Amino acid sequence: MSVQFGLRQPLAMDRYRRYLELGVTDTNTMYGDLKNLLKDTKLSSDGNFGTDSLLKPLINSLGKTGELAKKGLDIAQKAYVASDDVLKIYNFEIEVARRGRAYAKAGIKKTQDE
């Protein structure tokens, strides 16, 4: 799951695809494992145990207020994943730069993609 706002520039999309391919973004293992476990145990059709099997009757009984609460929870979840991805990208770039400096200091020539 990724959160995207507004128009995206081709260069930014290429970089984001690279992060996806390298496994830097969209890899929250605890969240993914829990979601898959809940799907496997049939506790939730989409893997979201809390809002589907426990809170769904409550949300339905609240009508419009329940729908707004569910939307708010979805937005909060997307914001969490987005902030997690931003921190992962930041740390990834720091480590790539650190590795590049170490290689240069050791006299090893590497390209940006290596």
Tokens 């590497």 correspond to 110
Q: Could you tell me which residue, 56 or 40, shows the higher pLDDT?
A: 56
Full-model pTM: 0.59
pLDDT band at 93 (very low <50, low <70, confident <90, very high): very high
Q: For residue 49, with 0-12 CB atoms within 10 Å meaning exposed, 13-18 middle and 19 or more buried, which class applies?
A: middle
pLDDT of 7-42, one tens digit each?
678 888 888 889 888 888 876 666 666 666 666 665
Tokens 């099997």 correspond to 53
From the CB of residue 59, how many other CB atoms can be counted at a distance below 10 Å? 18
Instruction: Please give the pLDDT value at position 44.
Output: 52
Instruction: Please give the pLDDT value at position 7.
Output: 62
